[in-house]
């Protein structure tokens, strides 16, 4: 009897935990939509909650504020990207092959309109309010250091063989070029086609890592 009660309690607890995870993910998906649609500063927590079919209370049960939700979106991006890209990079024999793979990967990221809009929105907000709160200043620094691809510095370290603390300038340059090219492509996709965006990204990667492309 006692064992049965314990099992029932565990089942209830696991069910609540699962519901909590699902609620958090639903809210994050909604936050992406609202931030990209309305802009970071104009986005309202009520709209994020309504988009997900949740309450304002559910939002605050999972996040302290809008910045907290936004940072969680970036964390999700980071984990998902690393899980996708690290095995690909590890299985390629040469640096040139890895440059090609990373260039293709970053080009695909640039097609994520929501992600790129969120990056631009939060950068503008962080630049306008760098001293609003210490936590926002920390997020501002993280945004400047990692841009729309927060794992890039670590990946560049793997590509070039330098330590993880190195190549910050290189990652900043590549992120800046990715952001700029993507913005131009979104503004006028006929003038700057995806093929050209990919080519310029790979040129920047090769220059950063001092890799000479093979002649075809």
| Residue 142, pLDDT score | 56
Q: What ranges do the domains of the chain cover?
A: 1-63, 65-216
* Both tokens assigned to 198: 């990919």
**Do 1-63 and 65-216 have matching folds?**
no
Closest to 122 in 3D by CA, of 93, 146, 99, 88:
146
Looking at residue 79, its pLDDT comes to: 78
Mean pLDDT, rounded, for 43-61:
95
The answer on pLDDT for 166 being more than 90 is: no
Tell which wins on pLDDT, 174 or 159. Answer: 174
Q: What is the pLDDT of residue 12?
A: 47
Q: At what angle do helices 45-52 and 2-38 cross, to 10 degrees?
A: 120
- Band of residue 176 on the pLDDT scale cut at 50, 70, 90: confident
| DSSP reduced 3-state for 165 | coil
* CATH of span 1-63: 1.10.10
3-state secondary structure of 52: helix
**Percentage of the chain exceeding pLDDT 70:** 70
Whether 148 contacts 180, CB under 8 Å: no
Fold of 65-216: Tetracycline Repressor; domain 2 (1.10.357)
Report field, pTM of the whole predicted structure over 0.75: no
Among 54-58, 75-79, 101-105, the range scoring the smallest mean pLDDT is 75-79
Which tens digit of pLDDT belongs to each residue from 87-106?
A: 887 788 887 888 888 888 88
**Greater pLDDT, 107 or 18:** 107
pLDDT at 50: 96
Give the list of residues 6+ apart from residue 204 with CB closer than 8 angstroms, or none: 173, 174, 177
> For the chain, what percentages of helix, strand and coil (3-state, to nearest 5) are there?
75, 0, 25
Measured CA distances, 28 to 44, 76, 134, 184 (Å): 14, 9, 23, 27
Confidence of residue 165 (pLDDT cuts 50, 70, 90): very low
Q: What is the pLDDT of residue 63?
A: 95
């Amino acid at each position: 009897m006692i064992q049965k009660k314990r099992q029932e309690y565990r089942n209830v607890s696991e069910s609540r935990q699962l519901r909590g995870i699902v609620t958090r993910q639903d809210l994050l998906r909604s936050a992406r939509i609202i931030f990209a649609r309305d802009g970071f500063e104009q986005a309202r927590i009520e709209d994020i909650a309504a988009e997900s079919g949740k309450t304002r209370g559910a939002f605050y049960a999972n996040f302290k504020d809008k910045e907290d939700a936004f940072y969680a979106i970036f964390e999700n991006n980071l984990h998902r990207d690393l899980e996708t890209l690290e095995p690909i990079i590890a299985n390629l024999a040469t640096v040139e092959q890895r440059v090609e793979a990373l260039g293709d990967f970053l080009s695909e990221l640039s097609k994520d309109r929501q992600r790129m809009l969120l990056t631009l929105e939060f950068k503008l907000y962080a630049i306008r309010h760098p001293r609003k709160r210490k936590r926002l200043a920390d997020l501002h620094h993280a945004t400047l250091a990692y841009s729309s691809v927060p794992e890039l510095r670590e990946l560049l370290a793997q590509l070039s063989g330098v330590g993880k603390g190195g190549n910050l300038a290189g990652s900043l340059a590549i992120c800046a070029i990715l952001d700029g090219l993507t913005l131009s492509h979104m503004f006028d996709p006929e003038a700057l086609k995806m093929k050209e965006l990919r080519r310029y990204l790979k040129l920047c990667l090769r220059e950063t890592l001092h890799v000479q492309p093979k002649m075809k």
